[in-house]
Amino acid sequence: MGALKSGAFPVELNGKEYGLLFSLNALDEVQEKFGGYDKLSEVFNKDNPNLFKDTRWLLTLLINEALLAEDENAQMLDEKKVGRLIHAGNLQEVQSAIFKSFAQGTAGDEEAQEEDKNETGTTEEGNSQAVQES
């Protein structure tokens, strides 16, 4: 999916893959709405009276940021449509994907550097050859 190319974190909802992108625009909106991105754990707290509304808003924001990163003219999703993608059975998965997309978005170059290390380091094939040589 193109979402991976844009830096978005992939999540599957109702059999369709979406990207979640914590862009600078998304971080700004999160800061404005919640007082900072460090408040995400409070947003997902079961005692938050707006837990479901906030989760739906945040998921919509991140999906739309990923769509717009791929195509500035993309058809954005509204909160009602996104709300139909979330249910009791996948709520924790959605919240986890949001946290992971945040981690991926803030890791930036560190993640790319880690992937480069893995590519130049020992591969699984290399490990199995070393085991056979021993």
Q: Please state the length of the chain.
A: 134
Grade residue 20 by pLDDT with cuts at 50, 70 and 90. Answer: very high
Task: Phi first, then psi: give them for residue 78, nearest 5 degrees.
Answer: -95, 165
115 has pLDDT over 80: no
pTM for the full model? 0.76
Residues 6+ apart with CB under 8 A from 66: 3, 6, 8, 18, 19, 20, 21
Kindly report, residue by residue over 53-78, the tens digit of the pLDDT.
999 999 999 999 999 999 999 999 99
**For the chain, what is the mean pLDDT?**
82
Cross-strand bridge partners of residue 11 = 18
What is the model's pLDDT at position 132?
Answer: 44
122 has pLDDT over 60: no
Grade residue 98 by pLDDT with cuts at 50, 70 and 90. Answer: very high
